[in-house]
Every structure is written in C-alpha cells, then in structure tokens.
Amino acid sequence: MFNKLLNYSGVALLKLLASLPYNVLVTTGYGLGILAAHIPSSRNRVVQKNLELCFPELSPQEINQLRKDHWRLLGRSLVEKSIIWLGSKKQLADMIEVRSEVDLNDRQPRILVNMHFIGIEGSIILSALAQEKGWPRTSGFFQRMKSPFFNKKIIEWRNRFGGNSIDRQGNSLELIREIRKGSFIIIAPDIDLGLKDSTFAPFFNIQTNTITAVSRLAKITGAEVCMMITTLKKNEAGYICNVSKPLENFPTENPEADTARLNQIFEKEISLRPAEYYWVHKRFKNRPPNEASPY
C-alpha cells in the first residue's frame, strides 16, 4: 500500500511540475541541481571520478567547478522530464527545436545515434511532430526500470504520440523490421550496458566497454547512420535537436573499428560542452581483464 501511495504521489508531482511556467520549472531544476552538488552521495563521487579520468589536464578547482556546473544542468533536465513524459505537443515544440541536415520525410532506413547529454530525451519531439510533419514514427530501445509501475508508465508516456519503445533484451528483430520500414530508429550506445555484444574502445584515452549494435544493425539493414544530438541553446532558453548528415563510410566490415569511431565522435561533442554530459553514469564500470573498476 505504501509503495502504491509513493508511485501515485510521484505521478502527481510530475503533473504538477509539467503545469508550471517553463521559466519556473527551469529555475526549480537549477536549484535542485545546485543543492545536489553540495550533498555527499555515491553519484557525486561517480561524477567526480569520471571527470578526473576524462580531464586529467584540469586542476582540482576546475574539476570541482565542472562537477557543480554538471549538477546544475542535471537538476534542470530531471524536472524537465515532466514535460518530456507528460507535456503537450506545444510544450515540447516550445522547448525543443529540430534542425536536420537530412530529409526527415524520405523514409530512408536510418539510425539516429543519440548521446547521453542532458537533453537526450529531446528525441520525443520527433514523435510529437510526426503526424503534422509527415515524419515516420519513432522507435528505439529502452532499458527496463527497477520499478514495474514506472517502467510501464514511462513506456506509455514516451509512446503517447505514436512512438514505439522496444525492450532491448531480445527484440533486435523488431528493431530491424522498423529500420527497414523507414521508422526513426534511435540508439544511445554511449553507456555501459554489459559485456554482451560489446567491445572495448578508446573514450578519452580509456578503454571503454561499448555496444557494437549501431554498426551491426546498419550492416544488416543498409541503414544510414546519423548523429542526433540535443543540446542547450546558448541562452539556455531551450534545446536544439540536431540531426547530422549520414556518417561517411559507415558501417565497415569491422564493427569494433566502427564503434571506436563513434566513441571518438562522442568525445569530440562532449569536449565542446562537457557540463551537459551524463557524468552520473558509471561509464567505466566494466573493465578489461585484470583491470580494477575505478569506482
């Protein structure tokens, strides 16, 4: 009974947040993020360690400032999920602008590689605008949550405009069918999802466990591979969802080399806006044989 009360209280809180004026919501998120940056926690230690590993050239003071900047933006992104999950099409369109270097109407089999910036769920805008723009529906893998209640709810919320969330465990054939139909296929390969179907590839000069799914799926389906990166506007008034031109000579016959190439693209993008990346994730959790976890 208590868990049920907590679950529905959580939904009520999300609805309340989604009803706030956007500037109030953003300010609330910034406040929560600044507060979180000053509370000792396991996630704060993960952020600190990730930044130290990836930016060894920075001083302790610079690392600490970057850590605080990250938490400020992360707090914002967490409360903005109320709009991502429950907001109207207008709210989403006001928050996220789409810019594309490819024709999103052409039904070309295409994989959109989405990075874990704070705006990662900005891809919902493609789903929200699909009908009026004539775009295909959006499909992508999702990672199961520990809470069955919110696992079901978030799938419903993400699919509310006609999207298609696919459980990443054992459903590759469904994703292949969607790619061949020309649906928008979104994959975010820049987190550690375990050693299965993965390789160790350099990321900030660290051998990093990375799934090879993008290369393998592109090879099987003949799909183009484009980067889709959602980042803050310079004035922080909202987000821009950028879809790039297809990567040239991708995929190759070597999925490990393709995956290493993607990691280098990720690294370049992160270096442009390091505070926006999801440093709370244990990116270096799985290590090569005989190498200890940094966490």
**pLDDT tens profile 11-55:** 899 999 999 999 999 999 999 999 999 999 999 999 999 999 999
Beta-bridge partner residues of 201:
208
Q: Is 246 exposed, middle or buried (0-12, 13-18, 19+ CB in 10 A)?
A: middle
Query: Quick check: pTM over 0.85?
Result: yes
Beta-bridge partner residues of 167:
142
pLDDT at residue 212 is higher than 80: yes
Mean pLDDT in the chain?
93
Q: Encoding tokens for residue 249?
A: 């000579």
In angstroms, rounded to a whole number, what is the distance separating the alpha carbons of residues 84 and 286?
31
Model pLDDT for residues 51-107, shown as the tens digit of each residue: 999 999 999 999 999 999 999 999 999 999 999 999 999 999 999 999 999 999 999
In angstroms, rounded to a whole number, what is the distance separating the alpha carbons of residues 232 and 289?
38
pLDDT at residue 275 is higher than 80: yes
pLDDT at residue 145 is higher than 80: no
Lowest mean pLDDT among 25-34, 162-171, 187-196, 274-283: 162-171
pLDDT at residue 2 is higher than 80: no
In angstroms, rounded to a whole number, what is the distance separating the alpha carbons of residues 76 and 79?
6
